């Protein structure tokens, strides 16, 4: 059997009976929504199976179906017909069936038509695919408070498996970012549903949750903090008190649950609980205009955080409009871009004379190590962002920005290759160091001891840092006119 076949063989060998869980709670077809709610809470499940005469399955009701329902006959709210599987079906057949019907679970039916088990899509995929993908899938499914406590450790294990399997750092970051985004989505959805059950009502206006910084770029590391905000649709000023009261409470719950999941509160209060990061779309547009026309230390710092935003919950329409406004407006404000470059001018690379690596001498207990985030990744991310903003490039990810700058002819082939390789190498070293720090129960950071690098890694690092230094010198000249 080939290596490829051995990786995917389980999906063609496993049966539904190998993976299925105990049956979902059962409710009679002549019951009502109150009984469904009672069963969901009692069994801590997301759905119940509806049975008719002789206990045959005739429908299914999910937790979402009974939100706001006080006493409604089950027959009126159940999904029907319901796809089902049998214990001896192959797992790949059941997964395909769930995907076609957009179902998260299937009742498993015995020979007599009775319910004998439940097959959850995430567990089926976890059993069928690689162990580290199983970890990621379980991680993104957690919504209960107790489950959320295990999120961070599962994420770390998954990243470790991926890196040890030789998966490129860009893919590890993509999975970590996807996992965090999925967590945002499920927590937000859960909080909205909880507020509805507690008679707060539905969200008073459409809204979107955005993440900023490294999360917005899709470049998450293992221990991010929260950088989030709300973009709200338009509403009359007279309704502000009632609308904002709802979103204050939603923000409080969202940030609290994220903190419990291991994504801690932002020490700089860059969160939706802060009204600065919770606005209507038109207010965000006004805020952007203010920042661009009044560049100063505070506005430059805030806009630097904001510019890489991406939506993680909602339809995305509001964020697209806001992104279009940013892409259209920023290139016209040369003074703002010039001042932003000047603020970032001191963020040099960890390289001294004669191509020697320059450890951080002012890092306290980390002295003698290389701060590859502050003196490696940050200078590259900032320089590439400045060029992308000037050129009206909408992409927020560093790798995409490098590619688009190359397509526009602003980076030649060598520059693109060196900068892309530098970003990948720096990301790999930082992720590896974070894992090592965590396993050694040390403060987790981006300080890499030079002696931990192989001769080849040192050579690649020096080449990459030199390429970043050349880019920063070029950006300084282009934005300031100083050679």
Q: Quick check: pTM over 0.85?
A: no
Domain with CATH 3.30.460.10 in the chain: 131-331
* Cβ-proximal residues to 135 (8 Å cutoff; 6+ apart), any chain: 154, 157, 158, 161
The predicted structure's pLDDT at residue 2: 33
- Give the separation between CA 370 and CA 392, rounded to whole angstroms: 34
The predicted structure's pLDDT at residue 383: 96
Q: In 3-state terms, the chain is what percent helix, strand and coil (to 5)? A: 60, 10, 30
The predicted structure's pLDDT at residue 421: 96
- Give the separation between CA 37 and CA 61, rounded to whole angstroms: 10
Cross-strand pairs, 48: 61
- Give the separation between CA 438 and CA 460, rounded to whole angstroms: 25
Q: Are strands 26-28 and 47-51 parallel, antiparallel or unpaired?
A: parallel
Whole-Å CA distances, 248 to 240, 265, 288, 309: 12, 15, 22, 20
Q: Residue 3: exposed, middle, or buried by beta-carbon count in 10 A (0-12, 13-18, 19+)?
A: exposed
The predicted structure's pLDDT at residue 151: 65
The predicted structure's pLDDT at residue 152: 67
Lookup result for tokens 């490098």? 402
Q: What is the CATH number of domain 131-331?
A: 3.30.460.10
The predicted structure's pLDDT at residue 9: 41
**CB 290, CB 299: distance < 8 Å:** yes
The predicted structure's pLDDT at residue 90: 80
- At the topology level of CATH, where does 3-127 sit? CBS-domain (3.10.580)
> How many CB atoms are closer than 10 A to CB 76?
10
Given this structure, which CATH class describes domain 333-480? mainly alpha
Q: Residue 47: exposed, middle, or buried by beta-carbon count in 10 A (0-12, 13-18, 19+)?
A: buried
- Give the separation between CA 137 and CA 125, rounded to whole angstroms: 8
Question: Which structure tokens are listed for 278?
Answer: 């919770």
Q: Measuring CA to CA, which residue among 224, 174, 234 is closest to residue 204? A: 234
The predicted structure's pLDDT at residue 136: 47
Q: What is the rounded end-to-end Cα distance, in angstroms, of the chain?
A: 61
The one-digit pLDDT tens for each residue of the chain (483 residues) are 333 333 334 445 678 998 898 888 889 888 888 888 888 888 887 788 898 887 788 888 888 788 777 788 888 888 888 888 999 888 877 887 887 777 888 899 888 778 889 998 877 876 765 444 545 455 545 555 556 666 667 777 778 877 876 778 888 888 788 778 878 988 999 899 999 999 999 999 999 999 999 999 999 998 888 999 999 999 999 999 999 999 999 999 999 999 988 889 999 999 999 999 999 999 999 999 999 999 998 999 999 999 999 999 999 999 999 999 999 999 999 999 999 999 888 889 999 888 899 888 776 778 789 999 999 999 999 999 999 999 999 999 999 999 999 999 999 999 999 999 999 999 999 999 999 998 888 888 889 999 999 999 999 999 999 999 999 999 999 998 775
Domain with CATH 1.20.120 in the chain: 333-480
């Amino acid at each position: 059997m080939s290596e490829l076949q051995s990786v995917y063989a389980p999906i063609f060998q496993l049966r539904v009976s190998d993976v299925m869980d105990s049956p979902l709670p059962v409710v009679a077809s002549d019951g009502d929504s109150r009984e469904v709610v009672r069963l969901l809470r009692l069994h801590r499940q997301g759905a119940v199976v509806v049975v008719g005469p002789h206990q045959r399955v005739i429908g299914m009701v999910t937790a979402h179906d009974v939100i706001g329902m006080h006493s409604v006959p089950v027959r009126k709210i159940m999904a029907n017909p319901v796809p089902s599987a049998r214990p001896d079906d192959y797992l790949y057949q059941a997964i395909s069936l769930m995907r076609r019907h957009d179902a998260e679970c299937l009742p498993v039916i015995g020979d007599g038509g009775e319910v004998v088990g439940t097959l959850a899509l995430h567990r089926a995929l976890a059993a069928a695919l690689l162990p580290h993908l199983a970890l990621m899938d379980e991680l993104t499914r957690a919504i209960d408070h107790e489950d959320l406590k295990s999120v961070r450790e599962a994420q770390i294990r998954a990243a470790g498996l991926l890196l040890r399997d030789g998966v490129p750092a860009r893919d590890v970051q993509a999975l970590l970012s996807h996992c965090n985004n999925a967590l945002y989505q499920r927590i937000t959805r859960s909080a909205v549903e909880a507020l509805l059950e507690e008679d707060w009502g539905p969200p008073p206006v459409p809204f979107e949750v955005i993440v900023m910084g490294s999360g917005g770029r899709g470049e998450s590391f293992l221990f991010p903090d929260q950088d989030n905000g709300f973009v709200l649709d338009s509403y009359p000023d007279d309704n502000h008190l009632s609308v904002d009261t709802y979103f204050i409470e939603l923000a409080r719950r969202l940030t609290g649950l994220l903190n419990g999941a291991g994504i801690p509160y932002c020490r700089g209060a860059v969160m939706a609980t802060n009204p600065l990061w919770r606005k209507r779309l038109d207010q965000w547009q006004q805020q952007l205009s203010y920042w661009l026309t009044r560049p100063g230390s505070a506005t430059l710092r805030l806009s630097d955080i904001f510019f890489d935003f991406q939506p993680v919950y909602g339809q995305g329409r509001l964020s697209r409009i806001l992104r279009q406004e940013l892409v259209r407006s920023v290139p016209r404000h040369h003074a703002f871009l010039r001042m932003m470059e000047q603020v970032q001018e001191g963020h040099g690379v960890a390289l001294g004379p004669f191509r020697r690596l320059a450890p951080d001498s002012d890092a306290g207990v980390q002295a003698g190590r290389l701060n590859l985030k502050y003196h490696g990744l940050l200078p590259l991310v900032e320089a590439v962002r400045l060029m992308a903003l000037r050129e009206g490039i909408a992409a927020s990810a560093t790798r995409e920005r490098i590619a688009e700058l190359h397509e526009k002819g602003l980076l030649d082939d060598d520059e693109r290759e060196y900068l892309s390789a530098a970003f990948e190498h720096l990301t790999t070293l930082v992720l590896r160091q974070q894992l090592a720090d965590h396993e050694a129960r040390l403060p987790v950071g981006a300080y890499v001891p030079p002696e931990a690098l192989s001769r080849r890694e040192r050579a690649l690092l020096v080449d990459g840092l030199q390429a970043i230094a050349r880019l920063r010198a070029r950006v300084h000249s282009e934005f300031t006119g100083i050679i």
